[in-house]
Structure 1
Amino acid sequence: MVLALFRKSTIEPPADIEAASLRSDRFRLEREVDWQRLDSIVTALEKNRPRRISDEDLLELPVLYRKTASSLAVARETSLDSATLDYLEALVRRAWFQIYGPRMGLFGWLRRFLGGGWSASVRAIWLDICIALAVMVAGTLVGWLLVDSDERWYYSLVSGGMAGGRTPGADPEMLRESLGTAESADGLGIFAAYLFSNNTGVCIMAFALGFAFGVPTLLLLVYNLSLLGAMYWVFAEAGLGVDFAAWLSVHGTTELGAILLSGAAGLHVGRTMAFPGDRSILAAMRTAGVRAAQVMAGCSIMLIVAGLLEGYVRQLVGDTPARFAIGGTMLLIWVLYFALVPAPRERDT
C-alpha cells in the first residue's frame, strides 16, 4: 500500500506538468498569429516606418491590441508559462505606447509651447491679468504714499539688507553711483540679487497661494510691489526717479511681467474654484490647472531672461535712454508675442 502511494505521488506531478504544458501550447497556437501580426505592426511604428504597414493592419491595430491584452489577462489567470507571460507583457506595453503614448518628444513639445501654446494660455486668463495688474499698480502707489506721508514706513516695508544704505535722506551722489554700470554698481548689486531671488519666490508663492480663492495672491502682490514703490520714492526725492526707472526697466519689464503672469495664474485657479460656473469644481479646476501650469512654465523662461538682462546687460549699459530702449524693446516683444502668436492648430497634436 505504501509503495503504491509512493508510485502514485511520483507519477502524478509529471502528468500535471505535461497537462499544463499542453494547455500553454494550445493557448499560444490558437492566438499566436494575432500576436505576431501585432508585433510586426508595433515594430514598424517603433522604427518610424509606417509606410510598411498596410491599411488593413493599421485599421486592425486597436482590435489586435485588445485581443492581446485579453490574452495577457487570461494567461495571468491560468498561470501559463513565464516565457509566454513575459512576451505578452512586453508586447502589450509596446503596443500601448504606440497607440496611447505621447506623440511628441521634448523638442516637439517645446516648439508647440513657444509656438502658440503659452501665448494662448496667457490670453485665456486676460481677466485675471487685468486684475493682477491693477493690484500691482495699487501696491506700488500704496508704498509710495505711505513713505511719502511718513518716512518711518520705509523701514517697515524695506529690510535693511535690501535697502543697503538707500534710505530716505541718503546722499544723492551715492544713490546715483549705485545706478552705475559694472565699475560702480556694487551698491545696487546686492539689491538686484535680492530683487531677482525675491521675485522668483514671489512668482512661486503667488501661484501656489491661488487655491485659497486668490485672496493671498492679491495680498502678496500688494505687499511686494509696495517695496518697489517705497524704493522708487527714495530715488525720486533725490531727483533720480527717471534714472531709477531706466535702471529698473532693463530687467524689470521682464521680471515684473513674470510676477504679473504668476499672480494672474494663481488668481485664475482661485477664481475658478470660487466660480466654477455650470461645471463641477473638479472639472473646472482641471481645465484651469492645465492652463495655469502652462503660464507658470513660461514664467520660468521669463525669469531666466530677466536674470541674464540683470546680470549682464544692465551692468554694461549705463546710459539712461539706452536702458529705456532695452526695457521698452523687451516689453514690446512680450506684448506682441502674447497678443499676436496664434494657438497651435489641433491637427499638430
Structure 2
Amino acid sequence: MDDTILIRSARFRQEREADWRKLSALVDKAETKGLHRMSFAEARDLADLYRQATTSLSIAREISLDRGLLDYLEALTSRAYLSVYAPQQRLGGLVHRFLAIGGPQAIRSSWRVILLAFLCMAAGTVAGYFFYFENPDWFYVFMPTELSGGRGPDASTGYLRDQIYEAHGESGLGAFATYLFSHNTRVAIFVFGLGAFLCAPSILLTFYNGLILGVFFALHVDRGLGWDLFGWISVHGVTELSAICIACAGGVKLGLAVLFPQDKTRVAALRAAGHDAVKLALIAALMLVVAALLEGFARQLIQDLTTRVAVGWGIGALWVLWFLRGGRNS
C-alpha cells in the first residue's frame, strides 16, 4: 500500500478517533441497557456523533483510505444506526400492545376463517351426536380409549352422574378433564402448525374433535344427563374449545395464503398472512392457559349446574368483549 495513503489514514484517524471511541461507548450502552436508561445528554451525543461518523465514512471512501479503517467505520455506523433509528420497545410494552391492540385486531380481521373453524367444530359435533343415536357403537369408533376412561354405552347412568359431580374425585371425570385438556392442547398445536399444508389437516382435526365432543354429549343426553354435562363442559370448555377454533383459523389463514397468493409470490403471501396467524396462535395459547386454570380450580369448586353455566359463558362473553372492543381507538 502507498505510504501516502497510510500516513493520510493515520492522520485522519488521529483527528477523529476520540469521537469514534465515545460513540462506540454510547452504542455499547444503548445495546446493553437500552435508550430508555440513557440520559438526555447521552442520547443527544449519540445522535450527533452518529452523524459525524457517517460524514467521516463518506470522506474516507472519497479519499480512498485503507480498508481496515473503512471496515471499522462501516461497522460502527451500522451499530449506531440501529441504536438511533431501530424501534425501542420493552417486553412489557410489546405485551401491552398485543393485548390492547394487536390481538383483538387480528381476531376481527380474521373473522371469516374463525367462523369457518367454529362451523367445522359444530359440524363434527352434530355429526357425532347423530352417529351415536344411529348406533351407540360409533362411540367406540370416534372416542379414543384414553379419553373414555370407563365412560361409554356400557356405563350405568348413576356412574356417569357421579363423574360429572365429582363423587369420585380426580379418579373420575376430573382425571378425564385433565387428559382432555392435554389432548385439546395438542390438537390446537396441530391445527395451527399443519394449516400451511393446504388447510385440510386443520379442518379435519377440528371436525374430528367435534365428533369426539358429539358422541360424548350424545351418550349423556341418552341417559338424561345432557344439561348436567353441558354445565360441566361450560366451565372450561367455552374457553378451551374456542381456543382450538382460533388456532385452527390461524392454520387455515396460512393454508389459504399458500393456495391463493393472489398477486404475490407464495412466500410473500405466507409472510403477510403470518402476521395475523401468529397472533391468533398466541391468543389461543393464552386461552388454553385460562382454560387450564378454570379446569383446575373453578370446575372442582363449583358443583351447581346454573353456576357452572354462568361462569363458563360469562368468561366467554368477556373474551368476545375483548375481541370486539380491543384496539378500536388505535
TM-score range, shorter chain: 0.7 to 0.9
Secondary structure, counterpart of 2:169 in structure 1: coil
Distance change in 2, residues 1:241/1:76 (3 Å): farther
**Is 1:107 the equivalent of 2:92?**
yes
Alignment partners' CA distance in 1, 2:18 and 2:274:
45
**Is 1:50 the equivalent of 2:77?**
no
Contact 1:185 1:315 in 2 (8 A): no
Contact 2:50 2:77 in 1 (8 A): no
CA deviations over 1:174-213 (Å, ceiling 9, x no partner): 1111011486353112211111111111111001111112
Secondary structure, counterpart of 1:277 in structure 2: coil
**Is 1:127 the equivalent of 2:112?**
yes
Alignment partners' CA distance in 2, 1:70 and 1:151:
81
Contact 1:235 1:244 in 2 (8 A): yes
Tell me the amino acid that sits aligned with residue 261 of structure 1.
I
- Structure 1 stretches of at least 4 aligned residues deviating more than 4 Å after TM superposition: 18-24, 36-46, 51-54, 67-77, 88-94
Tell me the amino acid that sits aligned with residue 49 of structure 1.
S
Gaps of 5+ in 1: 1-15
TM-score normalised to structure 2 length: 0.86
Range moving further from structure 2, 270-279 or 71-80: 71-80
Contact 1:250 1:324 in 2 (8 A): yes
Equivalent residue for 1:243, pick from 228, 247, 254: 228
Distance change in 2, residues 1:188/1:50 (3 Å): same
Alignment partners' CA distance in 1, 2:295 and 2:207:
23
Secondary structure, counterpart of 2:194 in structure 1: helix
**Is 1:190 the equivalent of 2:175?**
yes
Alignment partners' CA distance in 1, 2:59 and 2:301:
68
Alignment partners' CA distance in 2, 1:168 and 1:175:
10
Alignment partners' CA distance in 2, 1:53 and 1:115:
29
- CA drift of 1:21 comes to 7.7
Contact 2:240 2:288 in 1 (8 A): yes
**Is 1:78 the equivalent of 2:67?**
yes
1:205 corresponds to: 190
The correspondence of residues 123-162 of structure 1 with structure 2, limited to 5 A, is 123-162=108-147
Tell me the amino acid that sits aligned with residue 270 of structure 1.
G
Alignment partners' CA distance in 1, 2:87 and 2:57:
20
- CA drift of 1:169 comes to 4.0
**Is 1:337 the equivalent of 2:322?**
yes
Contact 1:162 1:190 in 2 (8 A): no
Alignment partners' CA distance in 2, 1:326 and 1:223:
27
1:272 corresponds to: 257
2:20 corresponds to: 35
**Is 1:225 the equivalent of 2:214?**
no
1:8 corresponds to: none
1:5 corresponds to: none
- CA drift of 1:344 comes to 7.4
1:170 corresponds to: 155
Distance change in 2, residues 1:273/1:343 (3 Å): farther
Distance change in 2, residues 1:32/1:206 (3 Å): same
- CA drift of 1:342 comes to 1.5
Alignment partners' CA distance in 1, 2:83 and 2:247:
36
Alignment partners' CA distance in 1, 2:329 and 2:77:
32
CA deviations over 1:261-301 (Å, ceiling 9, x no partner): 00001011111221222333222211111110111112111
Contact 1:181 1:314 in 2 (8 A): no
The correspondence of residues 292-303 of structure 1 with structure 2, limited to 5 A, is 292-303=277-288
Alignment partners' CA distance in 1, 2:282 and 2:60:
40
Tell me the amino acid that sits aligned with residue 263 of structure 2.
D
2:269 corresponds to: 284
1:254 corresponds to: 239
2:11 corresponds to: 26
| Bigger CA radius of gyration | 1
- Identity value in percent: 37
**Is 1:314 the equivalent of 2:299?**
yes
TM-score normalised to structure 1 length: 0.81
Distance change in 2, residues 1:71/1:323 (3 Å): farther
Gaps of 5+ in 2: none
Alignment partners' CA distance in 1, 2:119 and 2:66:
63
Alignment partners' CA distance in 2, 1:248 and 1:285:
36
Alignment partners' CA distance in 2, 1:163 and 1:72:
75
Secondary structure, counterpart of 1:211 in structure 2: coil
CA deviations over 1:98-136 (Å, ceiling 9, x no partner): 134441111111111111211111111111011111111
Tell me the amino acid that sits aligned with residue 135 of structure 1.
C
Alignment partners' CA distance in 2, 1:218 and 1:240:
30
Tell me the amino acid that sits aligned with residue 245 of structure 1.
F
- CA drift of 1:27 comes to 3.5
- CA drift of 1:31 comes to 3.7
Alignment partners' CA distance in 2, 1:174 and 1:68:
83
Alignment partners' CA distance in 1, 2:130 and 2:156:
22
